[in-house]
Amino acid sequence: MLRISKMTDYATVLLARLAAAPDRQLTATQLAAQSHLAAPTVSKVLKQLHRRGLVSSTLGLRGGYRLARPAAEITAAQILDALEGPMALIECARATHQCSIESTCGVGRAWQRVNLAIRRSLQEITLVELAGLGGEPVRFAALERALRGGRAERT
Amino acid sequence: MLRISKMTDYATVLLARLAAAPDRQLTATQLAAQSHLAAPTVSKVLKQLHRRGLVSSTLGLRGGYRLARPAAEITAAQILDALEGPMALIECARATHQCSIESTCGVGRAWQRVNLAIRRSLQEITLVELAGLGGEPVRFAALERALRGGRAERT
DNA sequence: CCTATATAGGACTAGTTTAGTACTAGATTG
DNA sequence: CAATCTAGTACTAAACTAGTCCTATATAGG
């Protein structure tokens, strides 16, 4: 199905809310209310985002969360990595792969290239675009550039 | 993690084997041996591929499987769809979505575009390339073209 | 100093999905 | 009619996901 988890989806929504109010500091409760999500779940996601350095937090009374850096410097790939770990379409594409037939099947290599292409495109999409703040829609030009750059060997 | 299931991975390997021997007819047992996979699992995947029309089969003694059409006419997207159903990064991107905050969050729309871009790129990758039969590696030019075509509104 | 409000971290549970197996039925060849 | 295939379905075990709860800690303010 090639899907991202709900948590990652939630994370994007929450980050988009934070991006829309860069100067303010929002609590987990506020974000939950804005997003119509359950408070404990929101809290969990924000904690994870903090752990991975995408948001900064203030403890105690009047505490809350805000983006750790400008929305333009947060990419879709970073969000995915933060919530789900480094993405890999198939096991073969991961660092420690052990495939007895890889030398003959060649499929792994092909998937790896697809994997890389998708990954690079996700690195070019920023939170600004995901949050719809840029005015313009997602820049597919960026996608193209990423893919073109990924083609190490010329055709 | 943005991954495909093992079954889909197996399907690709099996289809690659069939693509490598277009004139022959291979049994599930033979394919299992070639691929170092468990016979029942291979059988299950092949049955699914048959159901979705990617392979044709012959019953009875001397039966077996072969590709339903040339490898060049089987795409990565078709394989994914056959094994996992229509792909969608997030729930919002599916046909019957019900998201109370979609009008304000805008995130769903952005993911949908990413989704579409990936999907189109997968439609341009054929089994020939996945199986490594084309001589040339996966054509990233095709990926680019697909993405460029996906950009309905100009920048 | 004490309390209310926050985040931080971890443990835990229920539900769903995935992977794999087993069994029965039907088709074809010889 | 027997051997060898595929077809379909049902089932089980394991893994993952989503979500909740509890405890600890930090801060602001009375």
pLDDT exceeding 70 applies to what percent of chain A? 74
Quick one: closest CA in B to A133, which residue? B106
Q: Is residue A95 over pLDDT 60?
A: no
How far is the CA of A55 from the CAs of A2, A97, A140, B110, in angstroms?
A: 27, 33, 26, 21
Q: Any atom of strand D under 7 A from CB of B17?
A: no
**Which of A59-68, B14-23, B37-46, B128-137 is the least confident region?**
B128-137
What per-residue confidence (pLDDT) applies to A146? 39
Quick one: closest CA in B to A36, which residue? B101
Q: Is residue A65 over pLDDT 70?
A: yes
**Which of A45-49, A81-85, B142-146 is the least confident region?**
B142-146
Alpha carbons A142 and A120: distance in angstroms, whole number: 10
Mutate to test the interface with B, among A12, A114, A128 (most CBs of B within 10 A): A114
Question: What are the DSSP calls for B125-153, one per residue?
Answer: -BHHHHTT-SSS---HHHHHHHHHHH--S
Model confidence band, residue B100 (pLDDT cutoffs 50, 70, 90) = low
Residue whose entry in the numeric block shows the structure tokens 């059409």: B69
Q: Using a CB cutoff of 8 Å and minimum separation of 24, what contacts does A46-50 make?
A: A46/A14, A48/A7, A48/A11, A48/A82, A48/A83, A49/A11, A49/A14, A49/A15, A49/A82, A49/A83
Alpha carbons B11 and A32: distance in angstroms, whole number: 41
Q: Is residue A131 over pLDDT 50?
A: yes
Please state the rounded mean pLDDT for residues A103-125. 75
Alpha carbons A75 and A93: distance in angstroms, whole number: 21
Residues with CB under 7 A from strand C: A 1, 27-29, 43-44, 46-47, 50-51, 57-65; B 5-7, 10, 38, 40-41, 44, 58-63, 84
Please state the rounded mean pLDDT for residues B104-114. 71
Which candidate from B138, B139, B147 shows the least CB-CB separation from A143?
B147
For residue A131, what are the contacts with CB-CB under 8 A and spacing of at least 6? A15, A16, A19, A20, A71, B106, B107, B110
Residue-range domains of chain A with CATH: 1-85 (1.10.10.10)
How far is the CA of A85 from the CAs of A99, B1, B61, B107, in angstroms?
A: 22, 6, 48, 21
What per-residue confidence (pLDDT) applies to B93? 53
Return mean pLDDT, chain B. Answer: 80
Question: What are the DSSP calls for B32-98, one per residue?
Answer: HHHHT--HHHHHHHHHHHHHTTSEEEE-STT-EEEESS-GGG-BHHHHHHHHH-S--SSGGGSSS--
CB contact under 8 A, B4 and A76: no
Please state the rounded mean pLDDT for residues A83-100. 65
